[in-house]
Amino acid sequence: MNTTTRTRPTHAPVRAAVVGVDKLSAHFTRITFTAPGVGTPGTPIYDQRIKLIFPVPGHPLPDLTRDWYASWCALPEDTRGVMRTYSIRALDLGTEPARLTVDFVLHPDPGPAAAWAEQAAPGQEIILVAPQRGADPSGIEFAPGAATDVVLAGDETAAPAIARILEDLGPDITGVAFIEIPTPDDLLPIDAPPGMEVRWLPRAGAAHGTLLTPAVLGHLGVVLVDDEPPTAEPAADLVWETPGFSSLGEQVPQPRPNRHTYHWIAGESSMVTRLRRALVKDHGLDRSQVAFMGYWRQGVAMRG
């Protein structure tokens, strides 16, 4: 997935100061930042992705120009900070500057992002690369078209995006959201439309995808053809297969209007790949009906 290239024109880097830290559960910490110039009133956020750049201890945050990605890449790797991708859980445009909230997963073997979230405190700064006020939106994958029935599925890293999508959907939408989480303590309140059922799946020590994969396949009446374990090997790369983009280099036809059920699936990449194989290759779902997104890779540090 080259999200950086696709989001560069409308996203700009801003200094974001922590204004709130709330340990929500065993594995989620909610952090609110100042977000100067970010966001456009009246536009839904859905699964809007953003980039966060965390400082390397002992080094200041870099000064980035508007052509932020090129200027960041030109800096020495060991001091320029560490970039990761996150979702917007909430955006409050009623304050000046705006306030943007991210729900961080505190995962085992924490990388720089999870480690930073563990110690975050008010006043600390990071760089936030997010859509600026009035800019054309980019970095949103949720695109149900004319569908009024949706299936959302993801692990804990996708829970913030699923929650945001649910809270941005209109009241007439129907469907189900499956969210696999580490423990029952990680079940968080979501203000979902009345026609959307939210099913939390605490895996309690089992491997990623152990509960989510059969729940999604069972809901769609799909029989798993293979019996490969969910996360046997790290996936080759983050899978990113949407109606308009293919990380596998597959031919992407002109997106067709979709009036059927729309499926949005995100989380650990090999789990997502497995679901894609079952739903598209074995079950024959049309690619206009489904977005599959690897959000992280078991055993592999992300690069931004």
Interaction site with ligand FAD (CB under 6 A):
49, 84-87, 102-105, 107-114, 157, 160, 295-302
Q: Least distance in Å: CB of 303 to ligand FAD?
A: 8
User: Which lies closer to ligand FAD via its Cβ, residue 102 or residue 151?
Assistant: 102
d(CA 102, CA 269): 21
Output the smallest distance, CB 4 to ligand FAD, in A: 11
In which element (H, E) is residue 162 found?
Answer: helix 159-168
Contact 15, 61 (CB under 8 A): yes
In the complex, the smallest distance separating the C-beta of residue 265 from ligand FAD, rounded to whole angstroms, is 13
Q: Which is nearer to ligand FAD, 225 or 236 (CB)?
A: 236
d(CA 223, CA 294): 22
Angle subtended at Cα 225 by Cα 252 and Cα 151, rounded to the nearest 5 degrees? 55
Nearer to ligand FAD, 143 or 220 (CB): 143
Nearer of residues 51 and 287 to ligand FAD, judged by Cβ: 51
Question: Coil, helix or strand for 86?
Answer: strand
CB of 94 vs ligand FAD, minimal distance in Å: 22
Give the whole-angstrom CA distance, residue 303 versus residue 77.
11
Q: Minimum distance from CB of 266 to ligand FAD (Å)?
A: 7
104 vs 262 by CB, closer to ligand FAD: 104
Show the tokens assigned to 122: 């008010």
Distance CA 301, CA 83 (A): 11
CA angle 137, 140, 143 (to 5 degrees): 110
